[in-house]
A and B are shown apart, each in its own frame.
Chain A
Amino acid sequence: MNKRAISVTVNGQQHQNEVEPRLLLIHYLRETLGLTGSHIGCDTTSCGACTVLLDGKAVKSCTVLAVQADEHDVTTIEGLAGADGSLHPMQEAFWNEHGLQCGYCTPGMIMTSVALLDRIPDPTVDQIRTGLEGNLCRCTGYQNIIKSVQAAAGVMASTESGGQS
């Protein structure tokens, strides 16, 4: 089958590749670009470990073709930290609040949570639970993940309202 040229901006950097149409976005990110932060869990659109942002929206990259990301913008977990290595407030919050144990679901949890706060900056516990219903964690029991998202929302709100940047 014919390969197709694609141009995808990933974490602010443009990449041009020739890919098979059947190449999934998650495989493109992990294998073609070497960005292994996004994980493959269930591979059936259920667990959310492969969640990345596509044009700012959370998507499960096991159910998107790389060719569908052509001329679009992708953000992975590797793209969250600052250039100086400073963690994104969501990463910081997962660390501080013990929002992870084994860490397998964490990249997807964090990307979904970032997208959730983009839509609802000050979510209720219910809204966090609903927002994260497409992300499965088998260790934490979710409580600390909810706390992490709440903590990050607080930090991000105070930063927005004119605190330190």
Chain B
Amino acid sequence: VIPAAFDYAAPSSIPETISLLQEHGDEAKILAGGHSLLPLMKLRLAAPGILIDLGRIRDLAYIRDENDHVAIGPMTTHYMLESSDFLRQRLPLLSTAASTVGDMQVRNRGTIGGSLAHADPASDLPTIVTALRGEIVATGPGGERTIAARDFFQDIWTSALEPDEVVTEIRIPYGPAPTSYAYEKFRQRASDWAIVGVAVSLDRQNGTIDRASVVLTNVGTTPVTATAVEEALAGQSANAETIQRAADLASEGLDPSPELKASPDYKRHLARVLTRRALTTALQLS
């Protein structure tokens, strides 16, 4: 299937990109790796009048250590995330999760900026960046602003980006101590989207969980923070009982929409089971 006809612009800078966005308004879509947008256009679920391709702007693909956070360029591919030694050391949740996106070919093209801006609640990276308390830098005509991931995702395929803004960086904090982490996702077949996914990132001191981050994929209109689970873990000692009690709360308040391959009840069940597995893996209690 062939996408509906569109115009194509290939700006060479971010300011030029923003002028194009201002000029074309709602008709314009940003093209990053194209692995979310082009499939939608081929199915004619999206028919933008013009694509603005970031592919010719230099230096938008990078992973840079800023000492207390890592700065990631919007055109950084999933493959770059999965193969970065620095991320494997400092933010292994991000590199591990990136290595489970789609398949090798998809990870060679798909980008972190594109995945976040696309704001699909079934995608992995929105969940991961939310769990890691990341921030998204959006640049528009008035300059830069920084949006916490927890505020960035607003609805299905809807982010806090204004029509004339573009994602120009992703910032993810990291501390001196390694965190305990896991990403569990349940798929029907290899390289499918998650039916449900759970990202866990825990700060520990000795045997106690200081702070927990637990975020779910594909159980709502955005990545869903499992607040009840986080609260049940904070300040508790890391053992099987704590995990079981906390994981049982993972479906609290969840109202997932039914899908062909999963009813809401099934998704709530998966949320509890996968949260228990993710916590068990993260705390190496298995």
Contacts and interface: CB of A to CB of B under 8 A. Distances in A.
Interface of A: 1-2, 4, 20-22, 24, 27, 43-46, 48, 51, 54, 57-60, 63-65, 67-68, 112, 115-116, 130-131, 133-135
A58 B3 contact: no
B105 A112 contact: yes
B177 interface: no
7 contacts: A1-B6, A22-B4, A22-B6, A44-B39, A68-B53, A116-B104, A134-B102
Contacts, number: 80
Given A22-B2, A59-B109, A45 B190 contact: no
B51 A21 contact: yes
Interface string B4-31: 1111101000000000000000000001
9 A-B pairs with least C-beta separation: A134-B103, A21-B8, A133-B190, A57-B108, A1-B5, A22-B3, A60-B105, A133-B103, A134-B105
Nearest to B190: A133
Instruction: Classify the secondary structure of A's interface with B.
Output: mixed
B34 A68 contact: yes
A165 B252 CA distance: 63
A65 B106 contact: no
A68 B31 CA distance: 10
A19 B109 CA distance: 21
A134 B191 contact: yes
Contact of B2 (A24, A46, A54): A24
A60 B7 contact: no
Contacts of A58: 104-105, 108
Contacts of B4: 22
A148 B53 CA distance: 38
A131 B6 contact: no
Q: From B39, B51, B53, B108, name the one whose CB has the most chain A CB atoms within 10 angstroms.
A: B108
Given A21-B7, A67-B53, A68-B53, A43 B1 contact: yes
Contacts of B3: 22
A30 B106 CA distance: 21
B133 interface: no
A27 B42 CA distance: 13
Nearest to A116: B104
Given A63-B35, A134-B191, A48 B53 contact: no
Contact of B34 (A63, A131, A134, A135): A63
B108 A65 contact: no
Contacts of A46: 191
Given A63-B39, A67-B8, A45 B106 contact: yes
Contact of A48 (B2, B34, B105): B105
B53 A64 contact: no
B55 interface: yes
A64 B105 CA distance: 11
A55 B183 CA distance: 31
Q: From B51, B104, B109, name the one whose CB has the most chain A CB atoms within 10 angstroms.
A: B104
A116 to B, nearest CB: 7
Q: From B42, B51, B105, name the one whose CB has the most chain A CB atoms within 10 angstroms.
A: B105
B29 to A, nearest CB: 12
A58 B102 CA distance: 13
B106 A1 contact: no
A45 B39 CA distance: 8
